[in-house]
Amino acid sequence: MTHTLEGKTALVAGATRGAGRGIAEQLGAAGATVYVTGRSTRAHRSEMDRTENIEDTADLVTAAGGHGVPVQVDHLDPAQVRALVERIDREHGRLDLLVNNIWGGELLFSWDDTLWEHDLDKGLRILRLAIDTHIITSHHALPLLIKNPGGLVVEMTDGTAEYNADHYRTSFFYDLAKTSVIRMAYAQAQELAPHGATAVALTPGWMRSEIMLDTFGVTEESWRDALEREPHFAISETPAYTGRAVAALAADPDVHRWNGQSLSSGGLAQVYGFTDLDGSRPDAWRYLVEVQETGKPADTTGYR
């Protein structure tokens, strides 16, 4: 995908770590200018209190071959988002790709509490972080995105529409947040279509984010050590895999065929032919249904 996005301007909203960082870096590898936003900088940490920051993400974008521009933004603040979009317009006069990846709710949701047991303030905070941020960002960014035909919006979520339709996703607030984002992509698709633009929802599979690796007490280099604790982790993928999915979509002249659809990194790999960093093509959502949920032993044969 080298230079397939040269001359294009992208905004990855929520690019501090995880999928956002992987997406930004792979867009850089394709030659794009990428504005990377988040709340954590080298000088200030967000409530997540982690070391990852937007400057490091921007450096990865530039090292990959693009141009990374870090901008500290709280996407719950409309004034900050408006100023960000005005800056992009002033500096480039266009926005070809918006990736709405803001989340930041990992420390807030409960795996076990019911709606009436869950801390209400934390639950409502999850919805603000996962839904309001996306709405605010699209509200301010879409007028710039539709100035030129061919713009693309990628709404990042967890799970496909098909999977989430008949699977309860962890807890009330998490389920509502991730399912709402899929519908937001569909709704934006309807409004963007007359302007020659496209919106899709995209989910990674079981992604080896920094937080996921920390949860298992492993690194990217030693991630297979976690298989003793969770054998199905064998289907996991790097953030770069989702990044390559977004880069492939952004470079596709016929991307509008996907308008309004719910997509996955593994599914798009079968269409576009990209691989994860190890050369494999993990198809986590098919594996989850056909192997893990049926009680079969972990075996990724035919799934990566």
Residue 109 has a pLDDT of 87
Tell me the pLDDT tens digit for each residue of 35-64: 999 999 999 999 899 999 999 999 999 999
Q: What are the strands of the beta sheet with 33-38, ordered from one edge?
A: 67-72, 33-38, 9-13, 97-100, 152-156, 198-203, 262-264
Phi and psi torsions of 258, nearest 5°:
-95, 5
88, 166, 213 from 264: Cα distances, Å: 28, 17, 21
Two tokens, residue 300: 């990724």
- ∠ Cα 200 205 211 (to 5°): 110
**291 backbone φψ class: left, alpha, beta (φ>0; ψ -120 to 50):** alpha
pLDDT in tens, 136-172: 999 999 999 999 999 999 999 999 999 999 999 999 9
Q: What is the length of the chain?
A: 304
Burial class (CB in 10 A: 0-12, 13-18, 19+), 222: exposed
Tell me the average pLDDT of the chain: 97
Pick the CATH number of 9-207+240-279 from 3.90.1820.10, 3.10.290.20, 3.40.50.720, 3.90.550.10: 3.40.50.720
3-state SS class at 220: coil
Amino acid at 299: D
User: What's the pLDDT at 3?
Assistant: 82
Q: What's the predicted TM-score (pTM) here?
A: 0.97
Q: State the pLDDT confidence band at 1, using cuts at 50, 70 and 90.
A: low
Is residue 135 classed exposed, middle or buried when 0-12, 13-18 and 19+ CB atoms within 10 A define those classes? middle
Contact 14, 22 (CB under 8 A): no
Give the residue from 217, 219, 271, 276 showing the smallest Cα distance to 244: 276
For residues 270-295, average pLDDT: 97
Residues 14, 244: Cα–Cα separation, whole Å? 17
Task: Tokens for 16, please give them.
Answer: 């501090």
Give the other-Cβ count within 10 Å of 284's Cβ: 25
pLDDT tens column, 218-255: 999 999 999 999 999 999 999 999 999 999 999 999 99
> Across-strand partners of 70?
36
